[in-house]
Amino acid sequence: MKAVLGLEDGTFVIGQGFGVEGICSGELVFSTQMTGYMEALTDPGYTGQILMFTFPLIGNYGTDLQNFESSGVHAQGLVAREIARRPAARPSVAEYFSENGLLGISGIDTRSLAIKIRSAGTLRAALITGNDDGGEAVRRARAAPQMSDLDLIGRVSCREPYRISGPGRRIAVIDLGVRRQILAGLERRGADIHIFPHTATPDEIMAAGPGALLISNGPGDPGAAITAIRCIQDLAGEVPIIGIGMGAQVTALALGGEVYKMMVGHRGSNQPVRHRDGSISITTQNHGFAVDEETLPEGCIISHRNVNDATVEGFDAPDLGIVAIQFHPEAPFFDRISRGIP
């Protein structure tokens, strides 16, 4: 199947399409992970974006449905150097895309595109499958809305509150696009989890009697999470608050800090983070915004930094019982959350 990927700067590349014929547009971003491609594609944080993998072969172990981070693929489209046609398990990525009405392109030089993005910053793009009209792809890329103009959180947040019962500490979660693994990590530790939509009010959350409040990851501009920001402002000091991923940025905004859009962002499962004690973790990340540490109020302490560019990866506000981390948390952090202790 013919396919073309066009960028807003006028670049277009022609390759082989897979999935179904169609058109999609969004920010073109790249992930450096070598495995976990389906976890990335199903991460609600990629809503509104076309996801490109820098690792040259995608799909060698098929589509592992049990590791989805949501009910289905959220990325607008998939860009890869090569898609495995004979994977170790079925369905293949190409088969899954065909069965679920998704769009992808392969057979292109993803390295050169990654270099372009690193030099020029994130670019809007359009993917057309079933057609290789580069001019049309560029026109559609330029016509695509900016990320800040889209209500992406509203697309992925739950519509109604729901509960995952457990015998342990009661945790309230504001769902801005929460990944399944975050809820699973709390569930394995016996937490009694109450999940609320992004429109939930402080009164609705406190009516559940939570021992802690978690602000989840999600897509798009953190400034769009207006109700969650107000919840943090109203509840800070009353209940421990944990921000994860975009939830960390939303927490910073609630405290009067600022965030900024990064030129490229951090995406992948091999992002190095230095902890305050000097230890380093290799983490999973997906974010295009970062907290401006100079704007954080007095009393906030930087707890984590990215090793590559020294951007803020986490901060604490001990007097308010607030902990925020930019990366996907590991087991010790889940232990702390499930105990309700930031």
Give domain limits for the chain: 2-145, 152-338
Q: Please say whether the beta carbons of 315 and 293 come within 8 A.
A: yes
CA distances to 168, 237, 247 from 186, rounded to whole Å, are: 10, 22, 16
Q: Please say whether the beta carbons of 328 and 181 come within 8 A.
A: yes
* Domain 2-145 architecture: 3-Layer(bba) Sandwich (3.50)
DSSP designation for 148: G
User: Is 152-338 CATH 3.40.50.720?
Assistant: no
Segment 237-275, tens digit of pLDDT: 999 999 999 999 999 999 999 999 999 999 998 899 999
pLDDT tens for the chain, 342 residues: list them: 999 999 999 999 999 999 999 999 999 999 999 999 999 999 999 999 999 999 999 999 999 999 999 999 999 999 999 999 999 999 999 999 999 999 999 999 999 999 999 999 999 999 999 999 999 999 999 999 998 888 899 999 999 999 999 999 999 999 999 999 999 999 999 999 999 999 999 999 999 999 999 999 999 999 999 999 999 999 999 999 999 999 999 999 999 999 999 999 999 988 999 999 999 999 999 999 999 999 999 999 999 999 999 999 999 999 999 999 999 887 677 777 777 665
Q: Do domains 2-145 and 152-338 have the same CATH topology?
A: no
In the numeric block, which tokens belong to residue 260? 């900024």
Q: Under the phi-then-psi rule, with left for phi > 0, alpha for psi from -120 to 50, and beta for the rest, what region is 203?
A: alpha
First and final CA of the chain: distance in angstroms?
Answer: 51
Residues 6+ apart with CB under 8 A from 82: 56, 57, 58, 106, 107
Cα 315 from Cα 20, distance rounded (Å)? 44
What DSSP assignment string belongs to 189-241?
A: TT-EEEEE-TT--HHHHHTT--SEEEE---SS-GGG-HHHHHHHHHHTTTS-E
Nearest-CA neighbor of 250 among 188, 171, 157?
A: 157
The confidence score (pLDDT) of residue 338 equals 73
Please report how many Cα atoms fall inside a 13 Å half-sphere around the Cα of residue 334, on the Cβ side: 16
